[in-house]
Structure 1
Amino acid sequence: MQLSDIDFVIIGAAKSATTWLQTQLQADPAVYMPDPELHYFSREYDRGKDWYLSQFKGASNGRLIGEKSNSYLYSPEAAARLHRDLPQIRLIAQLRNPVERAYSSYCMLFRRGEVGPNIESYLDPSRGENMQILGSGNFHSHLEPFIDLYGRDRLLILFFDGVTRDPEAQMLRVRTHLGLPPRAIAQVGSQKVKDKTAPLVPPTMRRRLAWLKPIVRPLRGSAPFEAARGLVARKTEYPQLTKELRDRLGEYYQPSVEALERLSGQSLHHWYANQPKQHLNGATM
């Protein structure tokens, strides 16, 4: 296995149904992708080439080989590292209405107990740009380094809306970009990817019980474990994204969205329409 054997990389964006793309590609026997996000070119580059290539040990000759790491889109070093080591690859970016993506990111962090319930302190642009939640949605600026190095033709820009409206057409675009023949949507890829409505053990309790994880791990999925978990798990009540806050976010992102329209050649006018949140079969992406 050599670096030159890798054919494509999905670079992001987070909370934009990239796991759905990965699942669809993994369902094709002609494609190999490792399950975890490797984050090699963003966070793990010091581990070296041998570590990276070892993550593809299940790949066989004749299969298209790729990986997905959403952190690449946001890492200042990732584009240059990718181009230095993998100049031959094709890139895929799937993006989402940045207002909805920011709220989805906030909800994920809230569910984990990493942010508090005062949603405006994290999502109101007038209080400062939170890079993790707000800055990540300025897609045009994040894509520019990849285009500068690889050229526009090597980067396929997709949108979350395509997954919800016409998943068959979305995957056809992906497969055409990768040189793969058409293939029907895999049923496994139509299932929920992540469900933010699932009851969870409250974050404070999770931290207190963290020492038990190695002990109970073998019991996960068993009836006694799930019954005990059900006694303490609670449905998360998320702070709501008000119309006023949504409008402020829309104004903040408008210049970036207009630049993305010019870059992608696709109209994103519907992103300004303040549509309700979109879901893929109930899943939060």
Structure 2
Amino acid sequence: MADYPKPELDFIVIGAMKAATTWVQAQMSQHPDIFVPEIEPHFFTRDHKKGWQWYRDLFPATKPEGALWGEKTADYLAPPEAAEHIKREYPDAKLIVQFRNPIDRAYSDYKMVYRRGVVKGPPDEYMMSLDNPQPRFLNGGLYGKHMARWFDMFPKEQILCFTFEDVKQRPQETLEKVWQHIGANPHFDSEFAKKRQNDSSEELLPLPVRKALAPIKPLVKPLRNSALFKSTRGMFAREINYPPLSQEMRAHLADFYAEDVALLEKLLDRDLSSWLNVQERADAA
């Protein structure tokens, strides 16, 4: 039980990592009915030790009538303890999960960790099996395994599932489903609905520079969109050249994920076979 008044949450976006959940959060932040913290709290995983007061303070002091509160932490999907904690503390919260082709998701996750300087080798070093220093790259895309656990704990109608492709092809329709699911005004038309979020191809400051500037990051955040900030950043930023994901590794990952994708298809009653069509993706590249 909480030792401090809990925020009255109506919904939680639980994942998946590197599946454009930042886009969903950005749309929510524009909706007049909704409040979501800017940060990912990770409260039901690694940061639970920070306590309920810390979590409550991420939200406004009072909740207006008709307001909807929620949060987005993309790594809630995979860890069993996250589902257990949320079930215990917010059994009635509406849950939202967005999936992405697990092969693309694994490579996108690899690129994020690569540009942070945590890994230095090519993708093949970390994606042959789960027995490697970064099992997160593969484990994060085992959606069938993870969703089977969530569906065991929550009714299916309490969890809205959609895909990265849904967002790309039908952004406004997908948003309307989100609004209806959580009880927000479904006719809100976000002008940012088609704006891409979290582009990993963006030039990045070198790791030593980012570490040196980390203490002042909160102070400069309000200036991020200014011309001065962008020009100063451009003086130090550099384009990152990522080690490629080979066609052979894509084929290996298609085999690795085949059984799990079949499970997810059964759980969602949806055809996801295109995720594993490696040759089709190569022809489109």
Query: Structure 2 length as normaliser, TM-score?
Result: 0.86
Counterpart code for 1:139? Y
Q: Which residue number in structure 2 is paired with residue 14 of structure 1? A: 17
Q: Does 1:24 align with 2:27?
A: yes
Match of 2:53 among 32, 50, 56: 50
Q: Which residue number in structure 2 is paired with residue 98 of structure 1? A: 102
For the structure 1 residues 126 and 218, does the alpha-carbon distance in structure 2 shift closer, same or farther, using more than 3 Å as the test? closer
Distance apart, 1:137 and its partner CA = 0.7
Counterpart secondary structure, 2:80: coil
Distance apart, 1:76 and its partner CA = 2.2
Counterpart secondary structure, 1:125: coil
Q: Which residue number in structure 1 is paired with residue 241 of structure 2? A: 237
Match of 1:123 among 122, 127, 130: 127
For the structure 1 residues 153 and 242, does the alpha-carbon distance in structure 2 shift closer, same or farther, using more than 3 Å as the test? same
Counterpart code for 1:96? R
In 2, the alpha carbon distance for the partners of 1:84 and 1:115 equals 36
For the structure 1 residues 157 and 54, does the alpha-carbon distance in structure 2 shift closer, same or farther, using more than 3 Å as the test? same
Distance apart, 1:218 and its partner CA = 5.8
Counterpart secondary structure, 2:44: coil
The total of aligned residue pairs comes to: 274
In 2, the alpha carbon distance for the partners of 1:15 and 1:132 equals 11
The question of whether the paired residues in 2 share the 8 Å contact of 1:167 and 1:185 is answered with no
The question of whether the paired residues in 2 share the 8 Å contact of 1:26 and 1:33 is answered with yes
Counterpart secondary structure, 1:99: helix
Of 211-220 and 233-242, more deviation after overlay is shown by 211-220
The question of whether the paired residues in 1 share the 8 Å contact of 2:148 and 2:267 is answered with no
Distance apart, 1:39 and its partner CA = 0.9
The question of whether the paired residues in 1 share the 8 Å contact of 2:11 and 2:71 is answered with yes
**Could you report, residue by residue, the CA deviation over 1:14-49 in whole angstroms, capped at 9, with x for unpaired residues?**
111111111112211111111111111111222222
Match of 2:209 among 206, 209, 227: 206
Q: Which residue number in structure 1 is paired with residue 161 of structure 2? A: 157
Counterpart code for 2:78? Y
Counterpart code for 2:237? A
The question of whether the paired residues in 2 share the 8 Å contact of 1:4 and 1:86 is answered with no
In 1, the alpha carbon distance for the partners of 2:216 and 2:181 equals 46
In 2, the alpha carbon distance for the partners of 1:224 and 1:174 equals 37
In 2, the alpha carbon distance for the partners of 1:232 and 1:4 equals 40
In 2, the alpha carbon distance for the partners of 1:26 and 1:155 equals 20
For the structure 1 residues 217 and 63, does the alpha-carbon distance in structure 2 shift closer, same or farther, using more than 3 Å as the test? closer
Distance apart, 1:223 and its partner CA = 6.1
Q: Which stretches in structure 2 are left out of the alignment for 5+ residues?
A: none
For the structure 1 residues 115 and 173, does the alpha-carbon distance in structure 2 shift closer, same or farther, using more than 3 Å as the test? same
In 1, the alpha carbon distance for the partners of 2:170 and 2:193 equals 13
Q: Does 1:83 align with 2:95?
A: no
Q: CA RMSD in A?
A: 2.6
Give % identity.
33
Distance apart, 1:201 and its partner CA = 2.8
Query: Structure 1 length as normaliser, TM-score?
Result: 0.86
In 1, the alpha carbon distance for the partners of 2:25 and 2:99 equals 14
The question of whether the paired residues in 1 share the 8 Å contact of 2:5 and 2:53 is answered with no
Distance apart, 1:97 and its partner CA = 0.6
Q: Which stretches in structure 1 are left out of the alignment for 5+ residues?
A: 278-285
For the structure 1 residues 98 and 206, does the alpha-carbon distance in structure 2 shift closer, same or farther, using more than 3 Å as the test? same
